[in-house]
Amino acid sequence: MIGGDVKREGLQLNFSRSISAPAEEAAAPAPVPARLRPLSLPTSPSCELADSKKATVVARTRYCSCQELAKRLSAGRSPTCALLDVRPFMVYNQSHIQGAINLNCMDRFNRRRLQLGKASLAELASNKEAKELLKRRTYREFVVCDEGTTDLEMLPASHPLFMVLGALLEDNREPVLLTGGMAAFGREFPSLCRSELRPMGLDGPDCVSQLRERADEIESAQVTQILPFLYVGNQHDAKDLVSLKNCGITRVLNVTAHVPGYHQQQGISYKTLPAADSGQQNISQYFDEALEFIGGLVGWTLRSPPPVSGFSGHCARRHQASVLVHCVAGVSRSPTIAIAYIMKYLPMSMLEAYQLVKARRPIISPNLNFMGQLLEWEQYLRPSMPALTPCSEEASGAARLPGPPTGQQSPCRPLETCTS
């Protein structure tokens, strides 16, 4: 027992410890964890195979300068090589080297089929002429370009260029890479480049006069017959009752938010799709509704293309009436709807449908946002599209728009009688 007079010097109390906890002994130094050796996992066989294919492609691909390609294109002789453009379709349409064939290898579906050997480069081409060219053994040398590659070694093995160059090598062709791609060639040789979406250049000194001519051309455009029952026009065409009657139009699809239905009392059926001509407008949300209003084709087969006379016999439309699709100018929104209709019911690819409508109405120019949505529409329609046999006369003939027999006029009224 400790007496009261005992000094308690040096007594220390640990207030941070629980009263019920046992006293701590001298803390032993914390053990230093052993340093783990890094584990090196074996390389995946697929990665090794991809690297091996990349090395083969790099070793066997020749490079071509922009100056060399420009000299060959300007020589005026028959081309000795084919030019392949592997950029996305929309970028290709904005500007590409003249004569270049666009390959849709940005799509994962196409890339996977090509990698598995279930597709050829010809199937990736964006139009039938290009498909035929790639199927024939006309050219042995193929110049391939992307946006701006200068060195294949710097690209990952998964890059689309290796897929295309590898496919050419497997087909015993000679792949050549355009150094610097379209970016370098377009800067140095703009006169050798083309555009599908911009019908004229607006960079020169005649920019103002070209814009004025373009505006006059749009203003003076007449209602245009795209199919025997389908017309594309502007807001003035929708207002012109005489023109509507002359063309036999009894249904009007208005792709604007403000143009009214002018002649509902005269038996004209109207439908409005409130779409704006902008880069933010989702016009594809109206495709099904628009196509339902126009009336789908029933009984269509690629091997039995319908006659012109009202598309009767081989197919029938839900509405036996001619339809006008219009927006304000008939340049962007209404052609987009017409292209979507043709893609589904003829059927055609987006580029083929676009070229068909543009051939009949040259002023059309859907904005890039709408063109992108048409590309998505094509991807959506693809599983239901019948397989084409490009070498077959029946298949190639079915892809064309039906026209009147030689020496006969179309049963639809000619365009010059469709104006007041």
Cα separation of 167 and 161, whole Å?
A: 10
Question: Cα–Cα distances in Å, from 282 out to 75, 138, 373?
Answer: 45, 43, 8
311 and 297 in contact (C-beta within 8 Å)?
yes
Taking only the tens place, the pLDDT of each residue in 110-130 is 677 777 777 778 888 877 777
The lowest-confidence range among 11-15, 218-222, 372-376 is: 11-15
Cα separation of 367 and 333, whole Å?
A: 8
156 and 243 belong to one structural domain:
no
Residues tagged active-site: 327
**Other residues' Cβ atoms within 10 Å of the Cβ of residue 213:** 12
238 and 366 belong to one structural domain:
yes
175 and 232 belong to one structural domain:
no
163 and 221 belong to one structural domain:
no
Average pLDDT, the chain: 75
Say what the pLDDT of residue 360 is. Answer: 95
Taking only the tens place, the pLDDT of each residue in 315-349 is 435 556 899 999 989 999 999 999 999 999 988 99
Answer whether 0.75 is exceeded by the pTM.
Answer: no
Q: How confident is the model at residue 307 (pLDDT cuts 50, 70, 90)?
A: very low
Task: List the structure tokens of 72.
Answer: 């060959």
38 domain residue, yes or no? no
79 and 142 belong to one structural domain:
yes
235 domain residue, yes or no? yes
Query: Does 255 have pLDDT greater than 90?
Result: yes
Query: Does 50 have pLDDT greater than 80?
Result: no
> Quick one: what percent of the chain has pLDDT higher than 70?
67
Say what the pLDDT of residue 344 is. Answer: 93
Which residues span the domain enclosing 336? Answer: 217-299+321-381
237 and 268 in contact (C-beta within 8 Å)?
no
71 and 137 belong to one structural domain:
yes
Cα separation of 267 and 165, whole Å?
A: 60
Check which CATH number belongs to the domain holding 128 and give it: 3.40.250.10
205 domain residue, yes or no? no
The lowest-confidence range among 1-10, 188-197, 229-238 is: 1-10
Query: What is the domain count for the chain?
Result: 2
Query: Does 61 have pLDDT greater than 60?
Result: yes
Q: How confident is the model at residue 75 (pLDDT cuts 50, 70, 90)?
A: confident
329 and 233 in contact (C-beta within 8 Å)?
no
* Beta pairing class for 249-254 and 269-272: parallel
98 domain residue, yes or no? yes
Question: Cα–Cα distances in Å, from 220 out to 223, 228, 326, 338?
Answer: 10, 22, 15, 20
233 and 124 belong to one structural domain:
no
